[in-house]
C-alpha cells in the first residue's frame, strides 16, 4: 500500500499533471483559461469561466487523484473570486472562478474532498458565499460575535469591526445527536485544565467506548485575514509569525516566500539557507516537546521532563544564537535579520552532538518500557485510506503512509540544494506518530548539518522591491506540522490587500475525529496530543 | 494513659501523613532527575487551601458540602484503629480490619455521590470508574485480610501484629502472596500510578481526581488531607502487618521511641519502592485496571490456598 503511494509520487509521466488537468477540462467541455505565465508560480493558474462548472472541476480533480490543499476567496468589488489550490505529484495547481457579489453561490467541493468541508464553511461565514450541495452547511468560524448577514472579509466591512454590544452565548450550535440505551454525551472545553488553547469537544460514549467525537473550534478567531489588509510587507511577516505561536518560523517563511514571489524577488542564497536553519530548529524544538507531551499524557513523567529539558536547552541556544527563543520575526521580506557567524555554526554543531547523544539514551529508555508501549501501540489508529481521503499532512499523514513533504516533492530554497529523507510509518497509531517525529527529528538534525556545511557566503537580506499593483503570490513550505500554504495579494499602493494562511491543522483536525473512534474515553488526550493540531492556526 | 496514647498516636498519624506525601514527591523527583519541592510543601498546600473560600456549584446539594467532612472523619477514624508505633492500644481493640474496610467504603460511597451530585460529566465519569475499581479492589483486600486472619486466628490488627511478632521470622508463602496482593490493592485504592495519575490535569483520564474536580478551597484541602492519610494507612498496614518488628509492645518511652524510629525506616523503604515503580511505569489503560486487580485477587487467593494447603496443621 505505502510503497504504491510512494511510487505514484515519484514516477513522473511524460506530461505534467496541471497540463493533463487542463486538457481533460476541455475534453469534458469545461471552459477554462490557463494564465500564462502563471501569476502564482510555482503553481499553474487556471481560471474557470463559469462558476456553475466549479463542482465538475472538483469531480475531475478527484478522478485524477489531486489532493485538495486550500481554498480562499477575495472581494473584487462587484464579484467575489474563489480560488482552490490542488496538488498532485508535487505539482501545484490553482483553480479560480468568480461569482456575483450580490448573490454569491458556488457548487461545493466538500462532496468530493473532505478537506474542503471546513474551509468552505469558513469562507461562507466570512464572505457570505453559499456553497450549494455542501454536506454540512452549519456555521463554523462564525460564533455569535457577528450578525447573520455580516460578511467580515468583504471590503465593505470595517476593519475595526462592528460592535453589536455584548456577544450572546453560543449555546444553540446544532451538535450531532446520538441516542440510544446507555449513550451519553461528554462536553469537554472550550476551556481546558492545562495551559492550552480553547476548543470544544463533544463526545458520545457508551460506557468508556467512544461512538463519536465532534470538534467545535473557532474560539481563537483573531481576524488575522482582516487585520492583514493594508499592512506593509514587513508588518505582514510579523503578523504571519503570529498565526500560530509554535509555527512562527513556518508561517513567516511561507508569507515571505509568497510576497517575494509576487514581487519577483529572489532572496540571497545565504538568507535562504538561514531560513532553512530556522525552520529545522523549529521542527526539532516542537518534535521534542510533542514527544514529551505524549509521554506525559500517559503518565510517564520521566520522559516528559527529560524531553522537555532537551527542548529547553535547544530554546536557550535559539535565544543565544538568534536572539529569540521561538525564533519570532527572524524571517523578513527579502531575507533574514540574523546572520550565522562561524562561532554560532560551531555552537550549533556542538549542541546537535549533545542532543544526539542524550536523545538516543532517552529513546532507548522509552523504547524498552513495555508499559508505555502498551499505551501507545494500537491507540488512535488512522487508516492509511482515511489519511489519504482527508489529505492528512505532516507526521499525522506520514504515520499512516502518506509520504508527501513539500521539501522533497516540491522543493523550494534552500531544500532544492539538499537531500531530504521523508520517514514513513504505516501503523497509523499513536506510537507511529511518536516514531515518525523521532525519525523526522534525526532528519532535521542531519539537514541542519548539511545546511551549515553548505552555507554560502554573501548577503543575508536584500532591500524590498515593491511589486506591481495587484500582484499575487503563493508560498508553500513544510512547517513542522506539515505543508503550510500562504496566499498574498498586494493592493495598488504596495500594501497587502489579501492574506490567507492555511495551517496544516485545518486539514489535520478532522483526522482526530476519525482516529479516536472505537478508542476509550481516557485515551482521548494522548490521541489528541499525537495529532497536536493548532487551534490558533485553524481559527485564524 | 493508654487512651491518651491512642489519641496521641492518631494525632501523630494524621499530622505526619502530609510529610509522607512530601517525601514520596521528593523520591520521585530525584528519580526523575529533578529538583523537588520542600518536603513540607504538602503542609503549605493544605494551609493555602484551608484559607481559600470554597466555591460550590448552584446545583450542589448537602451531600456535596458534607462529603469532605465525612471523608476526612472516616479516614481519621480508620487511622485511629491502625497501630502505628504501638500495639495493645484500646482503639485497636474496639474495631477490627473489616471495620477498616467498611470505613473506607463509607468515605468512597460519599465521594462517588458527591461526584454525581453536581451533575457534570466528569464527576459522573469519575464516580463510575472509582466504583468499578473499588468493586474489584475490595474483594482482593478482604481476601488478603482473611489470609492473615486465618493464620493469626483474629481479624484484630493489633492481635495479628502481635501474632507475627511472637512467631518470629518465618517464611510463610501465604503472607508473601497476601502482601503482594495488598500492595497492588494499595496502589489502586490510593489512586497512584499505574492505576490512576494524581498529578494529571487531563479530566478525561482521571479516576479519583475526576470525582473531586469541582471541589475547591477548604473542601478540597480536607479531601487532599484525607487522601494523604489514606496513603499513609496503607503504607503502615503493609509495613506493620508483614514487618512488625520494632513496634512498641509496652508503653515505655524507650520502646515507643524504637517503634517510631523503626516505622520511619520501614516507611522510607516502602515509599522508595513505590516511587521507583511510579517512575518506571506509565499509567495503564483504564480497561487494564480490571486485569491488574484480578491479578491482585489471584495473588491473595493463592495466599489463602497456600495457607490451607501448606500451613494448617491437621
pLDDT for residue A1 is more than 50: no
H-state helical runs in A368-393? 370-376, 384-390
Tell me the C-alpha distance between B154 and B174, whole Å. 16
pLDDT of residue B272: 95
CATH (domain of A514):
1.10.645.10
Residue of A nearest to B195 (CA): A299
As a whole number of angstroms, the distance between CA A379 and CA A376 comes to 6
Question: What digits encode the pLDDT tens for the residues B52-71?
Answer: 999 998 889 999 999 999 99
Among candidates A193, A306, A520 on the partner chain, residue whose Cβ is nearest the Cβ of B285: A520
Helix (H) or strand (E) holding A180: none
Per-residue model confidence (pLDDT) at position A2: 40
Instruction: Sort out which chain A residues have CB atoms less than 8 A from B280's CB and list them.
Output: 302, 369, 371
Which of A522, A527, A529 is best to mutate for the B interface (most B CBs within 10 A)?
A522
Mark yes or no for CB contact B282/A523 under 8 Å: no
Number of separate domains in chain B: 1
Cell of A294: 505524549
Note the ipTM here. 0.86
A371–B281: do the CB atoms touch at under 8 Å?
yes
A522 and B193: CB-CB below 8 Å?
Answer: no
b/e for A248-258, b at 16 or more Cβ within 10 A? bbbbbbbbbbb
Residues in chain B closer than 8 A to A185 (CB atoms)? 121
Q: What is the pLDDT of residues A198-250, one digit of tens each?
A: 999 999 998 889 999 999 999 999 999 999 999 999 999 999 999 999 999 99
Last residue of a domain, one of A111, A132, A153: A132
pLDDT score, position A350 = 94
- Does residue A103 register a pLDDT over 70? yes
- Between chains, do A375 and B282 touch, taking CB under 8 Å as contact? yes
The confidence band for A395, taking pLDDT boundaries of 50, 70 and 90, is very high
Q: What is the per-residue DSSP string for B38-74?
A: PTTHHHHHHHHHHHSPPP--TT--HHHHHHHHHHHHH
Helices A524-531 and A269-297 meet at what angle, rounded to 10?
170
User: Residue B78 — φ and ψ, nearest 5°?
Assistant: -60, -45
DSSP-based three-state secondary structure for A80: strand
Among A378, A512, A356, CA closest to A438? A356
The interface residues of chain B toward chain A in range 158-197, judged by CB-CB distance below 8 A, are 193-194, 197
What the block records as the C-alpha cell of B252 is 515505655
Reply yes or no: is the peptide bond before residue A414 cis, omega within 30 of 0: yes
Q: Sorting pLDDT into bands at 50, 70 and 90, what band is B271?
A: very high
pLDDT of the residue at A3: 40
Q: DSSP for A215-260, please give it.
A: EE--TT---HHHHHTT--HHHHHHHHTTSSGGGHHHHHHHHHHHHH
- Flag whether A200 is in a domain: no
A108 and A241 in a single domain? The answer is no
Min Cα separation B195/chain A (Å): 10
Which CA distances in Å does A438 have to A283, A431, A442, A494, B44?
A: 11, 10, 7, 43, 40
In a domain, A219, yes or no: no
Report the pLDDT averaged over residues A491-509: 93
Please tell me whether residues A297 and A433 are part of one structural domain: yes
Confidence band (pLDDT; 50, 70, 90) for A497? very high
Match 503563493 to its residue by C-alpha cell: A474
The proportion of chain B whose per-residue pLDDT surpasses 70, expressed as a percent, equals: 100
**pLDDT-derived band at A9, boundaries 50, 70, 90:** very low
Q: Please judge whether A193 and B282 are an interchain contact, meaning their C-beta atoms are less than 8 angstroms apart.
A: no
Domain residues for the domain of B156 are: 2-311
Say whether B281 and A184 touch across the interface (CB within 8 A). Answer: no
Q: Do B203 and A369 touch (CB under 8 A)?
A: no
Residue pair A219/A199 in contact (Cβ under 8 Å)? The answer is: yes
- Greater confidence (B10 vs B169) lies with B10
Q: What is the pLDDT of residues B15-32, one digit of tens each?
A: 999 999 999 999 999 998
* CA distances (Å), origin B239, targets A67, A468, B39, B139, B236: 64, 82, 22, 21, 5
Residues 262-291 of B with CB under 8 A from A: 279-288
CA distances from A206 to A180, A202, B258 (A): 9, 14, 55
> Residue B251 has what pLDDT?
83
* A268 shares its domain with A370: yes
* Cis peptide upstream of residue B194 (ω within 30 degrees of 0): yes
Chain A residues near residue B285 by CB distance under 8 angstroms: 374-375, 520, 522-523
C-alpha A383 chain-centroid distance:
20
Mean local confidence (pLDDT), B245-261: 89
With 0-12 / 13-18 / 19 or more C-beta atoms within 10 angstroms meaning exposed / middle / buried, residue A474 is buried
Please tell me if residue A35 touches chain B, with a CB cutoff of 8 Å.
Answer: no
Q: Is residue A203 domain-resident?
A: no
Name every residue whose Cβ is closer than 8 Å to that of residue A254 and which is 6 or more positions away in sequence: A240, A475, A476, A477, A479, A484, A485, A486, A501
Q: Tell me the average pLDDT across A116-136.
A: 93
Give pLDDT, residue A5.
41
| Mean per-residue pLDDT, B100-119 | 92
Q: pLDDT tens for residues A414-438?
A: 999 998 999 999 899 999 999 999 9
Segment 96-115 of chain B within 8 Å of chain A by CB: none
Mutation for B interface: A184, A293, A299, most B CBs within 10 A: A299
What is the pLDDT of chain B when averaged over all its residues? 90
**A167 in a structural domain:** no
A206: Cβ–Cβ under 8 A, 6 or more apart, which residues? Answer: A180, A182, A183, A184
Look up residue A194 and give its three cell numbers.
Answer: 492545562
Supply φ then ψ for residue A317, to 5 degrees: -60, -40
Q: Report the alpha-carbon distance of residue A362 to residue A303 in Å, rounded.
A: 7
Is the pLDDT at A8 greater than 60? The verdict is no
If pLDDT is split at 50, 70 and 90, which confidence band does B75 have? very high
The strand pairing partners of A79, in sequence order, are A100
In the stretch 162-221 of chain A, residues with CB closer than 8 A to chain B read 184-188, 193-194, 208
For residue A522, give the nearest of B28, B280, B286 by CB distance: B286
A296 and A439: one domain? Answer: yes
The string of pLDDT tens digits covering residues A511-536 is 999 999 989 988 999 999 999 999 99
Nearest CA in chain B to A193: B201
Q: Is residue A145 part of a domain?
A: no
Query: Which strand (E) or helix (H) includes residue B30?
Result: helix B2-31
Give domain status of residue A287, yes or no.
yes
Which residue, among B79, B10, B30, has the nearest Cα to B227 in the 3D structure? B79
Asked whether residue A127 is assigned to any structural domain, the reply reads yes
Mutation test of the interface with chain B: which of A302, A365, A373, A528, choosing the one with the most B Cβ atoms within 10 A? A302
Q: What pLDDT is stored for residue A14 in this prediction? A: 59
> Quick one: average pLDDT of A344-368?
91
Considering chain A, what percentage of its residues have pLDDT values greater than 70? 97
Mean pLDDT of chain A: 90
pLDDT of A281 > 60? The answer is yes
Q: Which residues are paired to A81 by β-bridges?
A: A74, A98
On the question of pLDDT at A343 being above 90, the answer is yes
Q: Determine the average pLDDT of the residues in A88-97.
A: 92
**What number is the average pLDDT over the span B204-227?**
91
Q: Per-residue confidence at A144, pLDDT binned at 50, 70, 90? A: confident
SS3 assignment for A342-358: HHHHHHHHHHHHHHHHH
pLDDT at A168: 83
Is A37 part of a structural domain of the chain? Answer: yes
- Domain boundary among the residues A102, A132, A162 is at A132
In this prediction, residue A11 has a pLDDT band, given cuts at 50, 70 and 90, of: very low
Residue B74, burial from CB neighbour count under 10 angstroms (0-12, 13-18, 19+): buried
- pTM to 2 decimal places: 0.90
Write out the three cell numbers for B8: 496521641
Q: Do A298 and B287 touch (CB under 8 A)?
A: no
Check residue A7 and give its pLDDT: 42
Task: Report the distance separating Cα B274 and Cα A51, nearest Å.
Answer: 68
Q: How far is A296 from chain B (nearest CA, A)?
A: 8
Domain that holds residue A492: 224-333+342-539
Give the closest of B28, B122, B285 to A523, CB-based: B285
Whether the CB of A518 is below 8 Å from some CB of chain B: the reply is: no
Of B32, B206, B284, the CB nearest to A305: B32
pLDDT of residue B292: 94
Residues A6 and A118 in one domain: yes
Contact B178, B148 (CB under 8 A): yes
C-alpha cell at A10: 515519484
Distance CA A329, CA B243 (A): 64
Provide, as residue numbers in chain B, all residues whose Cβ is less than 8 Å from the Cβ of A299: 193-194, 197, 200, 205, 282-283
Structurally, chain A folds into a number of domains equal to 2
Asked whether residue B287 carries a pLDDT value surpassing 80, the answer given is: yes
Predicted confidence at residue B314, as pLDDT, reads 58
As a whole number, mean pLDDT of residues A406-410 equals 92
Residue ending a domain, among A114, A132, A150, is A132
Quick one: DSSP state of residue B308? I
Please list every residue in chain B whose beta carbon sits closer than 8 Å to the beta carbon of residue A184: 121
Residue A35 backbone phi and psi in degrees, to 5 = -80, 120
Determine the average pLDDT of the residues in B235-249. 90
Which pLDDT does position B90 carry in this prediction?
A: 85
Helix, strand, or coil (residue A388) = helix
Single out the residue of A242, A262, A263, A265 nearest to residue A252, CA to CA. A242
Please list every residue in chain B whose beta carbon sits closer than 8 Å to the beta carbon of residue A305: 32-34
The pLDDT, as a whole number, for residue A337 is 94
**Cβ distance of B283 and A375 shorter than 8 Å:** yes
Distance between CA atoms of residues A538 and A219, nearest Å = 10
Where do we find the cell 536553519?
Answer: A277
Amino acid at each position: 500500500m505505502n510503497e504504491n503511494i510512494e511510487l505514484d509520487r515519484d514516477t513522473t509521466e511524460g506530461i505534467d499533471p496541471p497540463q493533463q488537468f487542463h486538457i481533460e477540462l476541455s475534453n469534458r467541455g469545461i471552459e477554462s483559461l490557463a494564465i500564462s505565465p502563471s501569476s502564482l508560480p510555482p503553481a499553474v493558474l487556471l481560471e474557470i469561466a463559469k462558476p456553475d462548472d466549479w463542482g465538475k472541476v472538483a469531480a475531475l480533480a478527484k478522478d485524477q487523484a489531486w489532493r485538495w490543499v486550500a481554498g480562499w476567496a477575495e472581494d473584487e468589488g462587484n464579484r467575489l473570486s474563489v480560488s482552490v489550490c490542488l496538488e498532485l505529484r508535487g505539482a501545484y495547481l490553482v483553480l479560480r472562478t468568480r461569482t456575483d457579489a450580490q448573490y454569491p453561490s458556488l457548487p461545493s467541493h466538500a462532496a468530493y474532498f473532505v478537506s474542503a468541508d471546513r474551509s468552505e464553511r469558513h469562507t461562507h461565514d466570512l464572505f457570505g458565499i453559499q456553497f450549494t450541495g455542501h454536506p454540512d452547511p452549519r456555521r463554523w468560524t462564525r460564533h455569535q460575535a457577528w450578525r447573520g448577514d455580516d460578511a467580515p472579509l468583504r471590503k465593505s466591512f470595517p476593519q475595526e469591526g462592528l460592535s453589536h454590544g455584548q456577544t450572546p452565548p453560543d449555546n444553540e450550535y446544532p451538535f450531532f445527536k446520538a441516542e440510544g440505551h446507555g449513550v451519553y454525551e461528554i462536553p469537554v472545553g472550550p476551556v481546558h485544565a492545562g495551559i492550552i488553547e480553547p476548543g470544544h469537544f463533544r463526545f458520545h460514549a457508551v460506557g468508556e467506548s467512544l461512538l463519536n467525537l465532534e470538534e467545535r473550534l473557532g474560539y481563537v478567531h483573531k481576524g488575522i485575514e482582516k487585520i492583514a489588509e493594508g499592512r506593509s510587507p514587513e508588518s505582514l511577516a510579523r503578523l504571519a509569525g503570529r498565526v500560530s505561536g509554535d509555527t512562527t518560523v513556518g508561517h513567516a517563511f511561507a508569507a515571505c516566500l509568497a510576497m517575494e514571489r509576487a514581487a519577483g524577488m529572489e532572496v540571497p542564497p545565504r538568507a535562504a539557507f538561514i531560513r532553512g536553519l530556522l525552520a529545522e530548529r523549529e521542527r526539532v524544538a516542537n518534535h521534542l516537546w510533542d514527544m514529551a507531551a505524549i509521554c506525559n499524557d500517559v503518565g510517564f513523567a520521566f520522559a516528559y521532563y527529560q524531553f522537555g529539558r532537551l527542548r529547553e536547552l535547544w530554546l536557550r541556544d535559539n535565544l543565544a544564537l538568534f536572539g529569540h527563543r521561538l525564533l519570532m520575526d527572524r524571517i523578513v521580506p527579502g531575507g533574514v535579520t540574523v546572520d550565522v557567524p562561524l562561532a554560532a555554526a560551531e555552537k550549533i554543531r556542538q549542541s546537535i552532538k549533545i542532543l544526539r547523544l542524550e536523545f538516543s539514551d532517552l529513546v532507548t529508555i522509552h523504547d524498552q518500557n513495555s508499559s508505555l508501549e502498551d499505551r501507545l501501540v494500537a491507540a488512535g489508529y488512522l487508516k492509511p485510506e482515511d489519511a489519504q481521503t482527508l489529505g492528512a499532512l505532516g507526521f499525522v499523514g506520514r504515520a499512516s503512509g502518506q509520504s508527501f513533504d513539500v521539501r522533497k516533492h516540491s522543493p523550494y530554497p534552500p531544500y532544492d540544494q539538499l537531500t531530504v529523507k521523508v520517514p514513513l510509518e504505516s501503523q497509523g497509531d499513536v506510537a507511529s506518530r511518536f516514531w515518525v517525529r523521532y525519525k523526522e527529528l534525526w532528519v532535521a538534525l542531519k539537514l541542519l548539518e548539511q545546511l551549515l556545511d553548505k552555507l554560502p557566503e554573501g548577503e543575508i537580506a536584500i532591500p524590498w522591491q515593491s511589486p506591481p499593483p495587484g500582484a499575487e503570490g503563493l508560498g508553500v513550505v513544510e512547517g513542522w506540522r506539515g505543508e503550510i500554504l500562504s496566499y498574498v495579494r498586494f493592493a495598488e499602493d504596495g500594501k497587502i490587500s489579501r492574506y490567507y494562511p492555511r495551517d496544516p491543522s485545518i486539514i489535520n483536525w478532522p483526522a482526530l475525529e476519525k482516529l479516536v473512534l472505537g478508542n476509550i474515553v481516557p485515551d482521548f488526550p494522548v490521541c489528541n496530543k499525537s495529532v497536536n493540531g493548532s487551534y490558533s492556526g485553524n481559527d485564524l | 494513659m493508654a487512651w491518651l496514647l491512642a489519641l496521641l498516636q492518631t494525632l501523630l498519624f494524621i499530622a505526619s501523613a502530609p510529610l509522607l506525601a512530601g517525601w514520596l514527591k521528593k523520591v520521585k523527583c530525584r528519580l526523575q532527575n529533578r529538583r523537588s519541592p520542600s518536603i513540607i510543601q504538602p503542609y503549605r498546600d493544605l494551609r493555602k487551601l484551608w484559607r481559600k473560600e470554597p466555591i460550590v456549584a448552584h446545583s450542589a446539594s448537602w451531600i456535596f458540602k458534607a462529603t469532605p467532612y465525612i471523608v476526612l472523619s472516616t479516614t481519621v477514624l480508620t487511622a485511629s484503629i491502625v497501630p502505628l508505633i504501638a500495639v495493645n492500644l484500646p482503639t485497636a481493640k474496639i474495631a477490627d480490619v473489616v471495620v477498616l474496610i467498611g470505613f473506607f467504603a463509607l468515605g468512597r460511597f460519599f465521594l462517588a455521590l458527591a461526584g454525581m451530585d453536581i451533575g457534570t460529566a466528569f464527576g459522573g465519569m469519575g464516580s463510575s470508574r472509582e466504583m468499578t475499581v473499588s468493586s474489584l479492589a475490595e474483594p482482593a483486600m478482604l481476601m488478603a485480610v482473611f489470609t492473615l486472619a486465618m493464620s493469626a486466628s483474629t481479624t484484630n490488627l493489633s492481635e495479628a501484629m502481635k501474632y507475627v511478632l511472637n512467631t518470629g521470622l518465618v517464611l510463610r508463602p501465604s503472607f508473601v502472596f497476601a502482601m503482594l496482593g495488598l500492595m497492588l490493592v494499595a496502589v489502586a485504592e490510593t489512586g497512584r500510578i499505574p492505576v490512576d495519575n494524581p498529578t494529571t490535569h487531563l479530566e478525561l483520564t482521571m479516576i479519583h481526581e475526576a470525582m473531586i474536580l469541582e471541589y475547591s478551597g477548604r473542601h478540597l484541602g480536607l479531601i487532599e488531607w484525607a487522601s494523604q492519610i489514606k496513603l499513609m494507612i496503607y503504607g503502615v498496614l503493609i509495613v506493620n502487618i508483614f514487618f512488625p518488628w520494632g513496634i512498641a509492645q509496652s508503653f515505655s518511652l524507650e520502646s515507643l521511641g524504637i517503634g517510631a524510629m523503626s516505622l520511619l525506616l520501614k516507611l522510607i523503604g516502602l515509599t522508595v519502592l513505590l516511587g521507583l515503580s511510579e517512575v518506571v511505569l506509565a499509567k495503564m489503560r483504564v480497561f487494564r485496571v480490571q486485569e491488574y486487580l484480578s491479578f491482585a485477587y489471584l495473588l491473595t487467593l493463592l495466599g489463602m490456598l497456600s495457607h490451607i494447603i501448606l500451613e494448617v496443621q491437621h
